Amino acid sequence: MKYGSSKQRLVGKMQPNSRCRSLLYTFGALLLAAGGADGAERGSAGLAPLAVVVANDAGTEIACAAAVAHWYSVDLGAAPAGGTVRMALWRDAATGAVFALNAVGDRLPIERLWCGLAGRTWATRTEIALPKHAGATADVSIACTGGERLDCR
């Protein structure tokens, strides 16, 4: 293709004009204001803290985790025998939803929370009930004992 051909001139004219650029910038700003391009809510703004404290009376190390988004789980902490797992979670008072925040502040909705013996957390788990109803304000404080399975109350 020779320089200056009609096809070359057409491609050269396909630069976004100022109105198009303005629309793209506006759209990008709206996405950022809405929590990013992926639509995920971030940070603790509008949420209330929820402290979950698990005392380890099991005589061996325990670990706690939560299921988020169906098949994914996140580790929330571990404690040696006689220690305590302290989880700083967040709740939406209007809906009762409970969240963990990841390293960049994404809200990870907690579907289930459990603690179990370290190294076999899932097989030895006991589920921790979270207050997931609108208006809930109570923190959670329990103690766990163990044998073959962890027992938390």
For 2-59, the pLDDT digits (tens) are: 555 554 444 444 445 545 444 444 444 434 444 444 566 899 999 999 999 999 999 9
CA 100 from centroid of its chain's CA atoms: 4
Q: What is the pLDDT of residue 147?
A: 85
* One domain, residues 32 and 101: no
Q: Note whether 30 and 53 are same-domain residues.
A: no
Residues 107 and 66 in one domain: yes
In sequence order, what are the residues at sequence separation of 6 or more whose Cβ sits closer than 8 angstroms to the Cβ of residue 65? 73, 74, 75, 76, 113, 114, 115, 121, 122
Q: pTM higher than 0.75, yes or no?
A: no
Is the domain of 31 the same as that of 1? Answer: yes
Are 57 and 28 contained in the same domain?
A: no
Residue type, 137: T
- 11 and 64 in a single domain? The answer is no
Total domains in the chain come to 2
pLDDT tens-digit map of 106-139:
999 999 999 999 999 999 999 999 988 888 889 9
pLDDT at 3: 53
What is the residue whose two structure tokens read 């630069």?
15
pLDDT of 98 above 90: yes
Domain that holds residue 34: 1-39
Question: Which pLDDT score, from 0 to 100, does residue 39 have?
Answer: 61
| Beta strand spans in 82-139 (E) | 84-91, 98-101, 107-117, 126-127
CA distance 126 to 135: 25
